C-alpha cells in the first residue's frame, strides 16, 4: 500500500498555562496542529506535513523541534524574520472554568500563503479549519481557495473543520461567507454542534445536515460532545455512540483530537463508523488530561488494543 500524504494547514501557537500563582507552563498548540499530532501518533505510517509560517526566534526553533519530535514534516514550515509566533494564555479558576487570552493578530502564520514559495502537490489530503482561513487577509484567502481547487482537480481530498472563533472575524456574515465557501470545496467535513449553533443558529442535527446537504460533501462527520457522532455519506446516515467520560479534566482540543483519530483510522482503511469510534476514544482520552497535547505514552496506553 502506498504511503498516504496529508498536508495540514494552520497556526500553532505558544501555549502558556498557569501552573500556580507565579509559574507558567509552556507548550505549543493550535487546532490544526493538535489534529496533526494526534493523526501522526495514531497512524505513524501516514506522511503528515504541517504548512505554516513561524518566526526566526528561539520559540519558533523550539516549535520546529517539537514538530520534529512528533515526526511531523517541517518541509512546509516557512520562516519570517519580521514576525514571530502567536501566543495564548490559559487561566483556570477554582471551579475549573478556563479563560483564554490571545496575542496572535500579527503572528507569522497570518502570512503563510504569502510566504509559501512552493505550493503543496502530489498529496492525497489537505486539511484546514475555519481558523486557518480567519487569520488570513482576503488576498491570501483567495489564493488558498485557488490552491484547494487545483489540488481537488488532481484528486486530492479536502478536509475541513469550521472551528468558529467569533473574535477572529469582523462579523458573523463574513464568517458565514468563508465557511460556506470552505464547505463548498470540502470532501470530508467535521461540523461541530456548538460551532453551528453560534455561527448559523442551528439548534439540532437535522438543521446542520440540511445546511450542508447542498454542498454535496462526500463524508460529513458531525461531532456533538458526549451526545454521539453523526456521519452522512453515500451509504447513508450512521450514528456512532460516544462513551461518556465521567472525569473530564480539560476539554481543550477534544474536537481536534477526534479529527486526528478519525482521519488516522480512515487513512488506514477503516470504515467511517470504526473511524468515529476510534476518534471518540482519542478525544475521550485527551479530555481526561490537562492541555491540548497530552503525553504520547499516556495516549498510547489508553488506545492500545
Active site residue ranges: 256
Closest of 227, 274, 231, 235 to residue 254, by C-alpha: 227
- Cβ 212 to ligand ADP shortest distance, Å: 16
Tell me whether residue 92 or residue 244 sits nearer to ligand ADP (CB atom): 244
Beta-carbon contacts of 252 under 8 Å, excluding residues fewer than 6 positions away, are 29, 90, 98, 291, 292
Tell me whether residue 78 or residue 178 sits nearer to ligand ADP (CB atom): 178
Cβ atoms 177, 138 nearer than 8 A: no
Q: Which residue is nearest to ligand ADP (CB)?
A: 255
- Cβ 190 to ligand ADP shortest distance, Å: 8
- Cβ 305 to ligand ADP shortest distance, Å: 18
Tell me whether residue 9 or residue 278 sits nearer to ligand ADP (CB atom): 278
Beta-carbon contacts of 74 under 8 Å, excluding residues fewer than 6 positions away, are 49, 50, 64, 67, 68
**Rounded to an integer, what distance in angstroms lies between the CA atom of residue 64 and that of residue 244?**
35
Q: Work out the burial of residue 289: count CB atoms within 10 Å of its CB; fewer than 13 is exposed, 13-18 middle, 19 or more buried.
A: middle
Q: Work out the burial of residue 1: count CB atoms within 10 Å of its CB; fewer than 13 is exposed, 13-18 middle, 19 or more buried.
A: exposed
- Cβ 178 to ligand ADP shortest distance, Å: 18
Residues in contact with ligand ADP by the rule CB under 6 A: 192-194, 223-226, 229, 242, 244-245, 248, 251, 254-255, 258, 280, 283-284, 287
Tell me whether residue 50 or residue 262 sits nearer to ligand ADP (CB atom): 262
Beta-carbon contacts of 286 under 8 Å, excluding residues fewer than 6 positions away, are 38, 253, 254, 257, 292, 294, 299
Tell me whether residue 38 or residue 78 sits nearer to ligand ADP (CB atom): 38
- Cβ 289 to ligand ADP shortest distance, Å: 13
**Rounded to an integer, what distance in angstroms lies between the CA atom of residue 259 and that of residue 36?**
9
Amino acid at each position: 500500500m502506498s504511503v498516504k500524504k496529508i498536508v495540514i494547514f494552520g497556526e500553532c501557537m505558544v501555549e502558556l498555562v498557569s501552573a500556580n500563582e507565579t509559574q507558567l507552563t509552556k507548550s505549543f498548540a493550535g487546532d490544526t496542529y493538535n489534529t496533526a499530532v494526534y493523526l501522526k501518533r495514531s497512524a505513524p505510517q501516514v506522511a503528515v506535513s504541517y504548512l505554516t509560517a513561524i518566526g526566526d526566534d528561539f520559540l519558533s526553533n523550539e516549535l520546529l523541534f517539537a514538530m520534529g519530535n512528533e515526526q511531523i514534516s517541517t518541509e512546509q514550515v516557512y520562516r519570517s524574520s519580521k514576525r514571530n509566533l502567536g501566543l495564548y494564555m490559559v487561566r483556570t479558576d477554582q471551579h475549573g472554568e478556563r479563560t483564554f487570552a490571545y496575542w496572535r493578530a500579527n503572528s507569522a502564520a497570518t502570512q503563510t500563503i504569502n510566504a509559501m514559495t512552493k505550493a503543496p502537490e502530489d498529496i492525497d489530503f489537505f486539511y484546514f479549519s475555519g481558523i486557518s482561513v480567519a487569520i488570513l487577509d482576503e488576498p491570501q484567502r483567495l489564493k488558498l481557495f485557488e490552491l484547494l481547487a487545483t489540488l481537488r482537480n488532481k484528486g486530492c481530498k479536502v478536509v475541513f473543520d469550521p472551528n468558529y472563533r467569533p473574535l477572529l472575524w469582523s462579523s458573523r456574515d463574513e464568517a458565514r461567507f468563508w465557511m460556506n465557501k470552505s464547505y463548498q470545496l470540502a470532501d470530508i467535513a467535521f461540523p461541530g454542534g456548538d460551532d453551528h449553533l453560534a455561527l448559523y443558529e442551528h439548534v439540532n442535527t437535522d438543521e446542520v445536515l440540511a445546511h450542508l446537504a447542498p454542498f454535496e460533501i462526500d463524508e460529513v462527520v458531525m461531532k456533538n460532545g458526549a451526545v454521539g457522532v453523526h456521519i452522512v455519506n453515500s451509504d447513508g446516515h450512521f450514528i456512532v455512540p460516544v462513551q461518556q467520560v465521567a472525569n473530564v479534566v480539560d476539554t481543550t482540543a477534544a474536537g481536534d483530537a477526534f479529527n486526528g483519530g478519525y482521519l488516522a483510522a480512515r487513512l488506514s482503511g477503516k470504515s467511517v463508523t470504526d473511524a468515529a469510534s476510534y476518534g471518540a476514544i482519542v478525544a475521550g482520552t485527551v479530555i481526561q488530561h490537562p492541555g491540548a497535547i497530552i503525553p504520547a505514552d499516556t495516549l498510547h496506553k489508553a488506545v492500545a488494543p
